[in-house]
Structure 1
Amino acid sequence: MTQSTTAIKGLIFVLFILITSSLFSQEKVTLSGYVTDVTTGETILGANVIIQELQTGVPTNIYGFYSLSVPAGDYEVSYSFIGYETLTKSLSLSDDLALNVELKPKSIQTDEAVVVGERSSNTESTDLGRVDLEVAAIKRLPALLGEVDVLKTIQYLPGVSSAGEGNSGFYVRGGGPDQNLILLDNATIYNASHLFGFFSVFNADAIKNVELIKGGMPASYGGRISSVLDISLKEGNSKEFEVDGGIGLISSRLTLQGPIIKDKMSFIVSARRTYIDVLLEPFVNPESDFAGSGYFFYDLNAKINYTISDKDRLFLSGYFGRDVFGFQNDQAGFGADIPWGNSMGSLRWNHLFSDKLFMNTNVTYSDYRFEFKGSQEDFNFSLKSGIQDWSVKNQLSWYPNPRHQVKGGFDYVYHVFSPSQATASSGDTEFDLGGEMQNFSHEVGVYLQDEFDLTSDLRLNFGLRYSYFAHVGPFTRYIESEQDNFDQVEPNQTVEYDKGELVKDYGGLEPRISMRYRINERSSVKAGFSQNYQYVHLANLSPTSLPTDVWLPSTDVVRPQFGRQYNLGYFRNFLNNNYEASVELYYKDMENLVEYEEGAQPENNLNNNTDNQLVFGNGYSYGAEFFFKKTYGKLNGWVGYTWSRTMRQFDDLNAGREYPSRFDRRHDLSVVMGYTLNEKWEFGFTFVYGTGNSISLPTERYFFEGRFVDVYDERNNIRMAPYHRADIAATWYPRFREARKKRITEKGLEPKIESSWTFSIYNLYNRLNPYFYYVGVEGDLAEGNVEPKAYQVSLFPILPSVTWNFRF
């Protein structure tokens, strides 16, 4: 703790010097306020506020707030954002001024469509691996069965790999799915998938902003070692009542939003449900043994925001979603119900202490639950698992001048893990399966971050985070025969911990630093380093993320994951910033990774700790990411390519030899294009190519004591066939453009309904991509020449779809 305390004191001293120097600089005035959409009242994050005479400015933060401190004088101040008309105001600044502005969307955007944007300039910011996605553009891209999916869209970015055919899971720079921090209005989402991974839980109609950070993670984020996916919900139209929705092949959506008190309080409610079960029901014979089987998922988002005053705003949001799968076989007398899903709540308070000091306080609740309930005749069995979080976060943002921003705060999370809870009964007899297993823990993070210009060309972002994790009772430790941590305890015994008693704690410093050096007006070099601890782990028996995967805390057996990442990049703009390009190199070290031991089975958790089945190891990944983007114009989009390598080493796996991770993918290419033909037609095109995933398949098979025995030489010894696919989409707006123009320029003349039709084709050239492999045999058993043979199973052929979207 002495070194940690010394480091924190050193950081505070450096920040004190920087802050003191800014206080004694030339006397200045401050211009601050919020930037919003004139048609909806929604705040706009990333809008540029530029003072022309000084050639300086700032972007609005995630809550639409900006603050500029400049010498007193007369200035032309411009407010701009992609897809909006630039607003310029002549201001005479002699005192501090709070100025809220509204930007008008462009009535027809055929000349300035955008697919992907970044919060700050490609060459100006210190951001590495940080990308914002425009939700409107996501909706224009081709989608599986017409279901727009945020998580599938981020898979098109360099450094991000998909979990497999049609899967919404993603891996970032060689990290596992549990190493991605997924936030919805600051609440953690632990399982972001519907339909066993084929669709995400995020309804695009309810989403305001999507931000992915895969490189230098700011100090304000913690708890994961690979990436952050930060998703914000819309706040609701505070100007007028609005209904949006869509009807597709497998689901329908409906969103209601509007003012409760005009320009002061608004709401939004957005719902989505599939109707696979409803469509199939007429075709299932009621006398069939499988009558009563079915599957559907649904989700609901809701949010209320209230502007208490110019200094205080309150937001309350919630999410609830479920997958419901039921199976019935009357002939076998077997039935099963498998519900799983997430729920979350978030209460946020924004407060302005002054025009330079902004505070955001969040209280959130997050819950993920999986349950399996099965019955056969009079035998009943159930299995439950899940994780529940209660958290408090507070952040202060200080803006002493346009070239200096300071952030600091803390966050606290109380975790309740339920890795396994099994019950069984037969008639009136209850079986003892060990009862409910739960783990309780506290996680705390404190951070300080400072971004400032050392010179006109050199900008630094320096942050320090200290995190602490404590696993506490009540808890029962089951001691196995060979556990190094319990050499003083007899094997096959238990150790009991009372409620609140410390089982094991961990903590450490997490420095983060990034810099930008501007070579000239069009290009810059950036470098960064980050160090992270991760105290929660996902244990899975499958290569893809499934609802049966188990979340576990760090314990007296499981140490926290630890990661270091180094980044170096070159960024350049072309042709008046219409084209942007970058090359990023990265290297990542990962320690204390977890995997199930060979032969582990879920039933082994009964009367045992789940972490007793785990083994531990290390890994590393490195790669190069190439990104070329055309931001503006009728034709826009990007091309991304990644070359990478990801390796693992576990003493208890693969005889201790290094092996490629299942996330290892040498080549990954994505092409994403959008084209606006005219006011009525827009087109989208995507193409992806990726090296096949690494899997383990037997090299020999022989028959022994009445059964086949497989022999493996190396872990992940086989590559699946390369994955490639092309998709296209066309969106037709019968009256949308004209309606939108009238709505903006001639209020009161808008038609009652606006609509569009999206036609898409998934897997355009019918590529049979591998979903999984299974092993059969070739040869004659009697002759003793049986050999294993792998057979590929493909999932999706060419799939057309159509979706009708409406608004009134």
Structure 2
Amino acid sequence: MTLKYFFKNGLGAILLLLTIFTKSYSQEKVTLSGYVKDARNGEDMIGVSIFINDLKIGVQTNVYGFYSITAPTGKYKVSVSYIGYKTQILSLDFDKNKNVDIELKEDERVLDEIVVSTKREDDNVKTTEMSVNKVEMKTIKKMPALLGEVDVIRSIQFLPGVSSVGEGSSGFNVRGGAIDQNLVLLDEAPVYNASHLFGFFSVFNPDIVKDVKLIKGGIPAAYGGRVSSILDVRMKEGNSKKAEFSGGLGTIFSRFAYERPFAKEKGSFVVALRRSYIDILAKPFLNADLKGSRFYFYDFTAKANYKINDKNTVYLSGYFGRDVFGADFGFNWGNSTSTFRWNHVFNNKLFLNTTVFYSNYDYSLDSDLKKENNQDSFSWQSNIVNYSIKPDFNWYANNKNTISFGGQIIYYSFNPGQATAVSGGESRSIGLPNKYAVESALYIGNEQKVSEKVTLNYGLRYSNYSYLGTGSATILKETDVQTGERKEIVNTVSYGKGETIQNYGNFEPRFAINIGLNNTSSIKIGYNRLAQYIHLLSNTVASSPLDVWTPSSNNIKPQLSDQIAVGYFKNLSDNMYETSVEVYYKTLENQIDYIRNADLLLNPSVEADLLFGKGRAYGAEFFAKKNKGKLNGWVSYTLARTERKIDGLNNNNWFASRIDKLHNLSVVGIFDLNKKWSFGTTFSYSSGTPASFPTNKFTWQGIALPQNYTDERNTYRIPASHRLDISATKKNKHALFKKGESEWVFSVYNVYNRKNPFSVYVRQNEDNPAVTEAVKYSVFASILPSVTYNFKF
């Protein structure tokens, strides 16, 4: 599908039809539209409620801060409200179509209280959104953090349905999904590895993050490409009112951010930089053999926007980060993304956002010996690159129908691995050819207010995927898949540049309904089908930066998931408390596993080492949250199962997935004592993850060799994990030179010194090789205190 065809015959026809309809409809009523911004810094505000009290109709601003509301001619009072901000009541004459931009001021009465919601007060009950969690950055910054460093990824793991395989692991798991089944977006560009330092910290600089939204189910038709969840992270636009400098000095790294307006406040920008200095602090204490050790990370994030006129605004943002780790060897990995967005208002009812992005994740391994001895060395590099264009339309047809439609094209380039080995001064290149693919999609969705008590959100997405040459297709012999053995290659077919090797297409319907029981409670039902065309190959306990991404091919089919969820939502005490109970059931198709001793790196026949099957995940999530007041936070509990059935493994029976956790309990509490002091605490408990251990052993030449005689997988569990963290924040009157504001953050991670197991493995006893022993490995096995100084002026 070419760009010309995409626009001319797809979206172009829809746009023409809707524009004509809009003009004809606008003759009957008038429309109020515009942007809502924060009066303090000019940032666009997401999810602000615009409500006409007399008519009992309302809308919310979209993710770009735009709103549109239509009403019969007349004079009305319009309420503009958002948690933590003063509600504005505007008296407006709806005599003609108008553009009205609105600025909201923070409510001084609640500035010292934490608000743990980025949505309007009754969203929990009124909207069709379910299986969705939003966390305010103000809340994340007051939660206790590892070594005092605020982290988005660690914070969302306290939400229901979200977990990880253990402390120190990279990525996160949502409702039984693997980490590659989460689409992580930074200003709409995908981030393939969202972790620094092997999962200890995330790539998101808290000083530049504006909005965090996790979608676990009922995923809108505008999103696609992953079968588990969407983590949508939006960056600040930059202060358009005044110059501002902020940052922090911490135990592990320091960060700095600068933002200011330009072009007479028609534009603004923000830049942020972080750099860890563990390597610098540790260098004096390292022995001579480790003086050349490298272990640090850095990232640079920037964004600018410019308002051309009332109908056109452009944005440019980018992220560039890297991790370096090594002593006698070296790991090196990093993400680079850049996003260009164009917001265009066609008229009062039709809004367009066009996104063009570039994303590159590269990773490498090398021996440090090559810097001293050219006779013996090894280096290996790999990466995945994306280019994409994505137009998204919002059409505010009337007060009962808000239609979204658009599409996307993504071009993939995979470098599975290029290596150079030098032995005795002789160099040899080892590598795999690049792989290419194109994924395209069209979608349309509608949020429809059927009645005062019933709201629907339904849509359809069609995705098409082509695996392309230049390249070759491996033809595998049809064998008895129940053996779990490596498949035999019978032929290899070559394809020229741009030739289609394999093509897949999938319809992905989405549906959600909200049935209001009364003003404070509702029942919601959601269903979505999702397709995923790229895969992460990893047969380790936890994902590593060197795991290989690969596209769907003639041998690897796209992953598919179907999920249905039902929930009961109840608000209490004038929306101060939100409660919900959700149950879900999800099926997964074409799940990947591996033969025993599979070779995943630099293996030209890696597809022969793969096994395929299906999965299922089901559970119940309980959530209670206090939104306002001096003491607030939430409690979440998840009861869940995640299982797989892979042909050739576990005697072809269902078995618990490596990420299965039966119980997951999280408690978050934040207390504002006064304007100077606030305190935070988090507690988490989770069941141990499954593990496979030998059932017997045999001895050969005095060495014990363990064996799993029954071939059963994940029949044991490692011990449960639990941890308590606390923090205290002291606000100061000023920052540097008696200007601005600052604060000290004191935190203690793992208060009662719990040695939580990351994994349990079997090894030979060092003193007696004929004896095998089980060993518990913990990443954080002690109390970790820290202090951080944050400032802004």
- Distance in 1, Cα, partners of 2:687 & 2:382: 34
- Distance in 2, Cα, partners of 1:28 & 1:651: 61
Secondary structure (helix, strand or coil) at the match of 2:327 reads strand
Alignment of 1:615-764 (within 5 A): 615-705=611-701, 707-712=703-708, 713=710, 714-735=712-733, 752-764=739-751
Aligned AA (1:690):
S
Secondary structure (helix, strand or coil) at the match of 2:597 reads coil
Relative to structure 1, the CA distance from residue 653 to residue 38 in structure 2 (aligned partners, 3 Å threshold; closer, same or farther) is same
% identity of equivalent residues: 47
Confirm or deny that 1:343 pairs with 2:336. Answer: yes
Corresponding residue for residue 250 of structure 1: 252
Aligned AA (1:767):
R
Aligned AA (2:630):
K
Confirm or deny that 1:227 pairs with 2:229. Answer: yes
Corresponding residue for residue 327 of structure 1: 327
1:779 deviates by: 12
Confirm or deny that 1:302 pairs with 2:295. Answer: no
Match of 2:212 among 210, 213, 235: 210
Aligned residue pair count:
770
- Distance in 1, Cα, partners of 2:225 & 2:189: 13
Corresponding residue for residue 387 of structure 1: 384
Alignment of 1:110-509 (within 5 A): 112-118=113-119, 121-285=123-287, 288-328=288-328, 336-374=329-367, 376=369, 377=373, 378-433=375-430, 435-479=431-475, 491=489, 493-509=491-507
- Distance in 2, Cα, partners of 1:721 & 1:491: 42
Corresponding residue for residue 59 of structure 1: 60
1:496 deviates by: 1.4
- Distance in 1, Cα, partners of 2:364 & 2:532: 26
**Which consecutive aligned stretches of 4+ in structure 1 deviate over 4 angstroms post-superposition?**
19-26, 478-485, 489-493, 777-782
* 1:167–1:199 contact (8 Å) kept in structure 2: no
- Distance in 1, Cα, partners of 2:657 & 2:759: 16
- Distance in 1, Cα, partners of 2:193 & 2:519: 43
Unmatched 5+ stretches in structure 1 = 1-7, 329-335, 740-749
Aligned AA (1:772):
S
Aligned AA (1:454):
V
Relative to structure 1, the CA distance from residue 577 to residue 16 in structure 2 (aligned partners, 3 Å threshold; closer, same or farther) is farther
Relative to structure 1, the CA distance from residue 499 to residue 235 in structure 2 (aligned partners, 3 Å threshold; closer, same or farther) is same
- Distance in 1, Cα, partners of 2:489 & 2:97: 71
Confirm or deny that 1:769 pairs with 2:759. Answer: no
The root-mean-square deviation of aligned C-alpha atoms, in Å, is: 2.6
1:776 deviates by: 3.7
Unmatched 5+ stretches in structure 2 = 1-8, 482-486
* 2:170–2:542 contact (8 Å) kept in structure 1: no
Corresponding residue for residue 563 of structure 2: 565
Please give the per-residue CA displacement for 1:595-626, whole angstroms capped at 9, x wherever unaligned.
222111345x34x1332221111000100011
Please give the per-residue CA displacement for 1:527-584, whole angstroms capped at 9, x wherever unaligned.
0111111101111121212101111100011000010000101111111111111111
* 1:116–1:637 contact (8 Å) kept in structure 2: no
Corresponding residue for residue 742 of structure 1: none
Relative to structure 1, the CA distance from residue 111 to residue 600 in structure 2 (aligned partners, 3 Å threshold; closer, same or farther) is same
Match of 1:556 among 554, 565, 570: 554
Please give the per-residue CA displacement for 1:5-59, whole angstroms capped at 9, x wherever unaligned.
xxx99xx99x999x97996699321111101111111111111111121222111
- Distance in 1, Cα, partners of 2:332 & 2:26: 61
- Distance in 1, Cα, partners of 2:728 & 2:168: 20
- Distance in 1, Cα, partners of 2:432 & 2:764: 42
* 2:548–2:600 contact (8 Å) kept in structure 1: no
Match of 1:802 among 753, 770, 787: 787
- Distance in 2, Cα, partners of 1:677 & 1:402: 43
Corresponding residue for residue 516 of structure 1: 514
* 1:766–1:797 contact (8 Å) kept in structure 2: yes
Secondary structure (helix, strand or coil) at the match of 2:343 reads strand
* 2:521–2:568 contact (8 Å) kept in structure 1: yes
* 1:700–1:787 contact (8 Å) kept in structure 2: no
Please give the per-residue CA displacement for 1:170-196, whole angstroms capped at 9, x wherever unaligned.
100001101100000110101111101
Secondary structure (helix, strand or coil) at the match of 2:176 reads coil
* 1:419–1:610 contact (8 Å) kept in structure 2: no
Secondary structure (helix, strand or coil) at the match of 2:139 reads helix
1:107 deviates by: 3.4
- Distance in 2, Cα, partners of 1:602 & 1:396: 41
1:675 deviates by: 1.0
1:494 deviates by: 2.9
1:701 deviates by: 2.6
Please give the per-residue CA displacement for 1:701-740, whole angstroms capped at 9, x wherever unaligned.
322256432112421122111111111111111216xx9x
* 1:702–1:709 contact (8 Å) kept in structure 2: yes
Secondary structure (helix, strand or coil) at the match of 2:257 reads strand
1:504 deviates by: 0.4
Relative to structure 1, the CA distance from residue 195 to residue 58 in structure 2 (aligned partners, 3 Å threshold; closer, same or farther) is same
Secondary structure (helix, strand or coil) at the match of 1:169 reads coil
* 1:404–1:453 contact (8 Å) kept in structure 2: yes
1:108 deviates by: 5.1
1:380 deviates by: 1.6
* 1:159–1:173 contact (8 Å) kept in structure 2: yes
Aligned AA (1:304):
A
- Distance in 1, Cα, partners of 2:46 & 2:21: 29
Greater alpha carbon shift after TM alignment, 102-111 vs 563-572: 102-111
